[in-house]
């Protein structure tokens, strides 16, 4: 049912990602009334040099 796309700065550990997707899956199930098997979470690691806010790259902050 839901596919959740998440973009994070790179550097998170596999354990952090594992805990995060469990929490997001649980929240989706509680909120949407779906089963865990129907929830997809896609994590995209982004380099700070590829992300900007307010016209400034995060690697420059």
Q: For residue 6, give the nearest of 38, 34, 39 by alpha carbon.
A: 39
Q: Which of 2, 21, 34, 58 is catalytic?
A: 2
State yes or no: is 2 an active-site residue: yes
CB 45 within 8 A of CB 13: no
In sequence order, the 6+-apart residues with CB closer than 8 A to the CB of 12 are 20, 45
Residues classed as catalytic? 2
């Amino acid at each position: 049912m839901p596919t959740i796309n998440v973009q994070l700065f790179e550097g998170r550990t596999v354990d952090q990602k594992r805990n995060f997707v469990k929490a997001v899956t649980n929240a989706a199930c509680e909120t949407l009334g779906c089963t865990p098997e129907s929830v997809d979470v896609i994590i995209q690691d982004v380099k700070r040099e590829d992300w900007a806010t307010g016209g400034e790259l995060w690697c420059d902050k």
